[in-house]
């Protein structure tokens, strides 16, 4: 039995999950938050226990050291030699990476080079990779890219209607994101439907704090709502999603505290979307509670989110010229029967109908009626498992 760690490093956090492979058994998982700040918090969950500690962690190397020491301390492993592989989620793979890869110096240099496409994420991913290389230099190290699954997009979908030089010289194109999630849930859905993914047209709706919708034809991503960056698409928890780009210079000219385009982008990333409209929260549970008690802003945020989701899903019915199934996943997609109901209700013309008794909290699998032309499925996503599987695949 070998043990593999899946790592998801953010700018100030590091999420991890330890698997026994090939059994795919989760042995432990955890998160280290507030890296580089005072009072960092590390939480380890294993055997039904949750252990938290607060201490100052200056960087990702120290975070990795702490997580490895905790694995020993809590008896989850007896020796570092038991860990044979690590898989790192990397947000931007650009046009270089169409699949997961073993990480060598050249790969690492490319991931660093791609930081301009994901300035918040790729440098953190590189820090995580370096930290493991320093502490466990001999284990299999794999990069799993959020963008890889979307490298099958046809040019008609990935190009923006702007002059070619901006694509050729500056690499401005749609890259998408959440690729591991769209890949995983499309395969799970095919299994649930009892049909080969190659025969299916699927629309996958990853609706969490970040949101992306994908059109998947025969197992391949052919369009997706995130764009050059993860700011594009439907409105999200704190991100605006698609807006008229002319708003950006207008706000710079009009609003004293917004000095340049980067300031506006920051607002569009962090203070917009559901949070911008609802004001009190970006959390869908709060929004649903507010809506139930008649709060106008919460109700508008809910309705606007459903409106944007419907429009993107509708677009992808057009891209695919019909679909066999719509798949809901991620925090909201998996848990909110209200969002699912409102979205499907508003798209009933396309031939989708929910079975009321099935569209309930905790539902997994087919939630549509037997005669629903387009099936509607809830499929819990598992990006960490895809990462662990890719480490196994590339180790062989």
- Binding-site residues for substrate sit at 89
By the rule CB under 6 A, 84 interacts with ligand AMP: no
By the rule CB under 6 A, 331 interacts with ligand AMP: yes
Whether the CB-CB separation of 305 and 234 falls below 8 Å is answered with: yes
**All residues at 6 or more sequence positions from 168 whose CB lies less than 8 Å from its CB, including other chains:** none
Q: Which stretch binds ligand AMP (CB under 6 A): 35-43, 137-145, 260-268, 329-337?
A: 329-337
- Selected binder of ligand AMP within 188, 221, 272, 335 (CB under 6 A): 335
In this structure, the dihedral spanned by the alpha carbons of residues 229, 231, 232 and 233, taken in order and rounded to 10 degrees, is: 130
Compute the least distance from the CB of residue 382 to ligand AMP, in Å: 12
Closer residue to ligand AMP in complex, CB, 276/331? 331
Cis peptide, bond prior to residue 36, ω within 30 of zero: no
Pairing of strands 365-366, 25-33: unpaired
Closer residue to ligand AMP in complex, CB, 142/330? 330
Closer residue to ligand AMP in complex, CB, 10/331? 331
Rounded to whole angstroms, the Cα distance separating 335 from 361 reads 6
Closer residue to ligand AMP in complex, CB, 284/320? 284
Compute the least distance from the CB of residue 253 to ligand AMP, in Å: 33
- Selected binder of ligand AMP within 277, 330, 367, 376 (CB under 6 A): 330
Q: In the annotation, is 146 catalytic?
A: yes
Whether the CB-CB separation of 340 and 328 falls below 8 Å is answered with: yes
By the rule CB under 6 A, 290 interacts with ligand AMP: no
Closer residue to ligand AMP in complex, CB, 283/355? 283
**All residues at 6 or more sequence positions from 137 whose CB lies less than 8 Å from its CB, including other chains:** none
Whether the CB-CB separation of 6 and 384 falls below 8 Å is answered with: yes
Nearest to 216 by CA among 365, 377, 55, 89: 377
Q: Pick the catalytic residue: 127, 146, 337, 382?
A: 146
By the rule CB under 6 A, 208 interacts with ligand AMP: yes
By the rule CB under 6 A, 179 interacts with ligand AMP: no
Rounded to whole angstroms, the Cα distance separating 370 from 345 reads 16
By the rule CB under 6 A, 237 interacts with ligand AMP: yes
Output the known binding site: 8, 15, 89, 206-210, 283-285, 331-335, 383
Whether the CB-CB separation of 208 and 333 falls below 8 Å is answered with: yes
Compute the least distance from the CB of residue 378 to ligand AMP, in Å: 12
Q: Which stretch binds ligand AMP (CB under 6 A): 196-204, 249-257, 303-311, 332-340?
A: 332-340
How does DSSP assign 187-253, residue by residue?
HHHHHHHTS-GGG-EEEEEEESSSEEEEEEETTEEEEES--SSTT-SS--SS---S--TTHHHHHHH
Q: Please list the active-site residues.
A: 146
Residues of this chain that interact with ligand AMP (CB under 6 A) are 208-209, 237, 283-285, 288, 330-332, 335-336
């Amino acid at each position: 039995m070998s043990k593999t760690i899946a790592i998801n490093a953010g700018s100030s956090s590091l999420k991890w999950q330890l698997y026994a492979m090939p059994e795919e058994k989760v042995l432990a998982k955890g998160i280290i938050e507030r890296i580089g700040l005072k009072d960092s918090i590390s939480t380890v969950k294993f055997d039904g226990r949750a252990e938290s500690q607060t201490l100052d962690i200056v960087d990702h190397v120290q975070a990795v050291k702490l997580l490895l020491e905790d694995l020993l301390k809590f008896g989850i492993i007896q020796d570092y030699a038991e860990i044979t592989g690590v898989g790192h989620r990397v947000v931007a793979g650009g046009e270089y990476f169409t699949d997961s890869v073993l990480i060598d110096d050249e790969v690492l240099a490319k991931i660093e080079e791609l930081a301009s496409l994901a300035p918040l994420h790729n440098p953190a991913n590189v820090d995580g990779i370096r930290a493991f290389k320093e502490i466990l230099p001999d284990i299999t190290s794999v990069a799993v890219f959020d963008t890889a699954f979307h490298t099958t997009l046809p040019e008609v979908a990935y190009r923006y209607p702007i002059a070619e030089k901006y694509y050729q010289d500056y690499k401005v194109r749609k890259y998408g994101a959440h690729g591991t999630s769209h890949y995983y849930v499309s395969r799970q859905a095919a299994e649930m439907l009892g049909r080969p993914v190659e025969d299916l047209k699927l629309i996958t709706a990853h609706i969490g704090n970040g949101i992306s919708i994908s059109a998947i034809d025969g197992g391949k991503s052919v369009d997706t709502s995130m764009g050059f960056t993860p700011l594009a698409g439907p409105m999200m928890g704190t991100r605006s999603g698609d807006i008229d780009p002319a708003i950006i210079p207008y706000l710079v000219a009009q609003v004293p505290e917004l000095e340049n385009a980067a300031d506006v982008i920051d607002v569009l990333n962090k203070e917009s979307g559901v949070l911008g409209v609802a004001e009190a929260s970006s959390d869908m549970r709060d929004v649903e509670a507010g809506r139930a008690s008649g709060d106008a802003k919460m109700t508008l945020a809910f309705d606007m989110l459903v409106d944007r989701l419907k429009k993107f899903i509708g677009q992808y019915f057009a891209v695919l010229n019909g679909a066999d199934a719509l798949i809901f996943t991620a925090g909201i997609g998996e848990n909110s029967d209200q969002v699912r109901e409102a979205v499907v209700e508003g798209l009933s013309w396309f031939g989708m109908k929910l079975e009321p008794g099935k569209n309930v909290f905790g539902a997994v699998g087919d939630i549509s009626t037997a005669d629903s032309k387009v099936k509607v499925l809830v499929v819990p996503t598992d990006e960490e498992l895809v990462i662990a599987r890719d480490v196994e695949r590339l180790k062989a």
